[in-house]
Every structure is written in structure tokens, then in C-alpha cells.
Homo-oligomer: A and B are copies of this chain.
Amino acid sequence: MTDLADTPASALWEEWLLLDAAGRVAGFHALPEDAREDFFESLDPREQVDLLLALPGRERRLWVRTLAPDDAADLVQEAPADERPPLLDLLDDATRFEVRALLAYAEDEAGGLMNPRFARVRPDLTVGEAIRYLRRQAAQLETLYYIYVLDEQQHLVGVLSLRELFQQPDDRPVHEIMHREVITVPEDADQEAVARLYVQQDFAAIPVTDATGRLRGIITFDDIADVVREEATEDIQKLGAVAPVEEPYLSVRLTALVRKRAGWLAVLFLGEMLTATAMGFFEHEIAKAVVLALFIPLIISSGGNSGSQATTLIIRAMALGEVKLRDWWRVLVREIGAGLALGLILGAIGLVRILLWQVVGHPYSPHAVGIGLTVAVSLVGVVLWGSVVGSMLPFALRRVGFDPASASAPLVATLVDVTGLVIYFTAASILLAGTLL
């Protein structure tokens, strides 16, 4: 028995990203014969391409032919355009035909994920005949978990698991034991929707049908685990205001890394310029009471932070299907409650801090109570506003057809900063009128 941590394959896995092409080939050849296939399969398509193109031609053919058609299609898709035809030529005729068909689908739809090879039987076979027939198919298949029952036109008429087939006596016909209600997805279903269905329903495989109900392929757990990860990565990167980066961090070129970040950073910067404009209107107040300037970063960052919390919760709840567009009103009510409570907590801390400072150390001014109250009231307003904007922004984005995950923490902070300043200086001009201002 071997824990993964001990195998030569895992040592190579750890090193992989740090090796150059020659090092990878050498490491791959150094693996024991029977570990190579597992290792090759465990690489993602981009890594498979890199390795393949570094291998001699004869070996290249050998390894490409170990792949299931959907994995071969992924590999071809990741290869540089001029390498695609020679890679396709390495496949046997039947597989090349299947791969070509898969390449016609968009990468992120059900058709682009599916494997066109699945276990199939006719409804009038007996259990014994079906098992013998499946044993003949087995070498071609990726999984035998579900057995699909097709009529002569390849329409999907039923399904049963191999486990169910196994439990039945040899002479029972398949059509008596199959399930006739089958959940399917259309060829052009979005991969994110398929992943959500998959995780909700705990399927081992989902059949993909065309418009006439003919079975075209199945999507299996390994395709979906990748999608779940990919979509989570994309969501997380959007939340951090980075355009989705598909390659591993250490392999992306520096110029690409800067490009993925510069766009959002510049947009946020232009938005944030409005704070300078807004503050221009309060220049007079700041000149009269410089002490007000001291609390500006504190106030606006609190709005940004509470907004970032709210937007994170809502985006994730939307991604998991817990919150739908029509729930916006219930979310708003909750966030007004949460925002008020959080604002009161921060306001109280702020007030205590300013009064304490006044007593023990550095006195801000003879008007410490007024300043403390101004800061406290502003915090309630800003945190409430941050929670409301942060929670409603994903709804607004989805409503107009954008991805709600674009409501990144930095975007919410930027939206809230300008209004935060207005709230703060308005509170000051009311509460400090006649004393400081």
C-alpha cells in the first residue's frame, strides 16, 4: 500500500511546475512503467500538451491514444493552433471522428464536456445477455456506472445502474427493471448549470441528449470536479477584481498578469477620483476643522468593509442557488437589519475610542464630544449604506445581464467611498454647526 505522498509520481507532481521541458521528459521517463499512465492522466490538458510536444513522435502517438475522446478533445483545444492538425493525426480514425465532433461544441457547454462513449443496451435484452454484452463493450468505456437503454434510433428510453442490473435474475428483460424517467441535459447547457445540477443531485454521470432525444454522450464526475474548481477560481478572482486568469499563477507571463489586473484597477481608480471631487466640496470645512480629516480613512474603510462582507455573502449564495433574483426584497430587509446592528457596534467603539483618547492622552479639541458623536453617527450611516449597496449590487448586475460575481469587494468599496464622505461631512455640518464649523 502506498500513501500518495510516498510514490515517485507524487514527487514528480510536486516538482512539475518548476521543471523545464527536458526536465519533465526526464522525470516522466524515470517513473516506473505502470505509474506513467496514471501520471499522464492526472495532468491537466495544458500540461499534457506541454509534455507531449516535448516527447519523441513515437511516444507521442502512444500517449495520445490512451485518452478518452473528451480528454483528447480538451488536449487538442489547449494546443497551439499549428500543432492541432498533427495531434489529431495521431489518433485512430474512429476516435479522430469523435474528437472532431466534440471540438464543434463550445468548451463551456455540456457537449464540450461529454464523453461520447457510454454503456448501452437494448430494452429487450435479458439481464444475463446485457451483462455479457457489457463485458464486450467494457474495454471502450470510461465508466460502467449507469447503463443507458436506447431504442433503434438511439433515443434514450431508460436507464439503470450496473448495481441494479447485477441484483436481478439472469432471465428478466431490461425494460422491466429500467427507470423510464431520466434526467438529461441538452447539448448546449451551460457547464455551470450542469455542475450545480450534478452537485445537488449526486449523480455519478449525466446523459446529454440532442433536440430529438438521442443520447450523444455522458458527463462524468471527473469532468465536473474540474468545472466546480474552475468556476470557484473564476468567482474568487472576480471578487478580488482580477480578470479570470486561467493558467497557474507562476506560469502566467508577467505582462499578462499586469494586463489582467490593470483594467479593473484603472476603472476603480477613475471611480475613486470622484472622492477627490466630493472632498473638493468640503475643502472649506476641512480648512476650518482639520481634525475632521483625521477620521476620513476610518469612516470610508468601514463602509467598504461592511459592503465587501455583504456582497461576498450574496454572490456565494447566488452561485449555490440559495438566493434567486426574486429574493432581493428579503435580502434588502435582512441587510438593513444587519447593517444597522453592525453600524451601532462600530459607532459605539468609535465613540468610546475618541472620548478615551481625550481623557488619557492627546486631546483632539475642546469639542471632542461633538466630534465623537459625528464619527459615531456617520459610522452607523456608512455601515448601513455599505451593507445595502454591497448586497443589492449583485442583484442589479444580474438583472442587467452581467455576472453578479463582478461585484468585487474593491468595486463595492469604491461605490461606497464617495457616499461615505458625503454622509460624514453632512453629519459634521449638522452636529458641529455653531461649534467647530
Residues of A within 8 A of B (CB): 1-4, 7, 13-14, 17, 34-35, 38, 41-42, 131, 134-135, 138-139, 141, 143-145, 155-156, 162-164, 166-167, 179, 181-186, 197-202, 204, 209, 213, 221-222, 224-226, 228-229, 232-233, 235-237, 239-242, 245, 248-250, 254, 257-258, 261-262, 264-266, 268-270, 272-273, 275-276, 279-280, 283, 286-287, 290-291, 293-298, 300-302, 304-306, 308-309, 311-317, 320, 322-324, 327, 330-331, 334, 337-338, 341-342, 345-346, 349-350, 353, 362, 383, 408-410, 413-414, 417, 421
Contact = CB atoms under 8 A, between A and B. Distances in A.
A145 B7 CA distance: 23
Contacts of A164: 138
A323 B408 CA distance: 23
B261 A276 contact: no
A225 B198 contact: yes
Given A144-B166, A249-B316, 11 more contacts: A1-B184, A2-B182, A4-B185, A204-B222, A221-B221, A228-B232, A249-B331, A265-B306, A286-B293, A296-B296, A305-B414
Chain A's interface: helix, strand, loop or mixed, by majority?
helix
Given A298-B275, A301-B414, A316 B237 contact: yes
Contact of A313 (B242, B254, B293, B409): B242
A166 B134 contact: yes
B297 A275 contact: yes
Nearest to A347: B269
A129 B209 CA distance: 37
Contact of A144 (B163, B213, B291): B163
Nearest to A414: B301
A261 B338 contact: yes
Nearest to A267: B305
Contacts of A242: 309, 312-313
Given A240-B239, A345-B266, A283 B272 contact: no
A300 B258 CA distance: 20
A294 B298 contact: no
A224 to B, nearest CB: 7
Q: How many copies does the complex hold?
A: 2
Contacts of A330: 250
Contact of A232 (B232, B295, B306): B232
A304 B222 CA distance: 38
A198 B229 CA distance: 12
A135 to B, nearest CB: 4
A362 B280 contact: yes
Contacts of A324: 14
A313 B182 contact: no
B417 A317 contact: no
11 contacts: A1-B213, A3-B186, A34-B179, A34-B181, A139-B163, A143-B163, A225-B225, A233-B316, A249-B331, A268-B305, A283-B291
Question: Closest 8 interchain pairs by CB?
Answer: A240-B312, A232-B232, A138-B166, A249-B317, A221-B221, A275-B297, A248-B322, A202-B222
Contacts of A221: 204, 221, 225
A244 to B, nearest CB: 11
Nearest to A409: B409
A333 B14 CA distance: 21
Given A1-B182, A135-B167, A235-B236, A295 B276 contact: yes
Nearest to A247: B322
Contacts of A341: 254, 258, 262
